[in-house]
Amino acid sequence: MLKILIAEDNLMIADMAQDFLAGSGYEVCGIARTVGEAVTLARHHHPDLALIDLRLADGGLGTEIAAQLSPFVELGILYATGNISQVRLTTDDGHACLIKPYSASDLIRGLELVSGIVANGTAMAPFPRGFHVLPSPAAGSMGATA
């Protein structure tokens, strides 16, 4: 059973994601609303995966979580955002991004793909709607999409 951390400031979205994930066999180790809460939870629980909103409470950015944890934890990161056009993400930030709103099946498939990227460096189609594999920093654009 893979352990997952949810970093999402909208509690309704976080609770729905937790229900989707628990119902699909994931162990949700916690929900964080801020960067600090997410880093503390991750250091305590050592999750395998993280579902991270780009904009968090208190003005924090989800990318700050990955930056603070990368020296300590090998973590599969799936970002979720409704504002993808305003953000440039690369593999320095995580593994993939899923555009909101997403369905339960899109979320589960997105996490399966991120697990594959962490395990063997590749994501095998089919990709869910709104899913993007993050490009290397040199590549420039958002990456492969559904």
pLDDT of residue 139: 63
pTM value is 0.92
pLDDT of residue 138: 81
Number of domains in the chain: 1
Note whether residue 139 is domain-resident: no
Q: Strands 27-32 and 3-7, how do they pair?
A: parallel
Chain segment 110-120, per-residue pLDDT in tens: 999 999 999 99
Note whether residue 143 is domain-resident: no
Element holding 7 (H helix, E strand):
strand 3-7
* Domain extent for 89: 3-133
Looking at the DSSP assignment, which residues form a beta bridge with residue 98? 80, 131
Note whether residue 61 is domain-resident: yes
Chain segment 81-134, per-residue pLDDT in tens: 987 666 789 999 999 999 999 999 999 999 999 999 999 999 999 999 999 999
Note whether residue 49 is domain-resident: yes
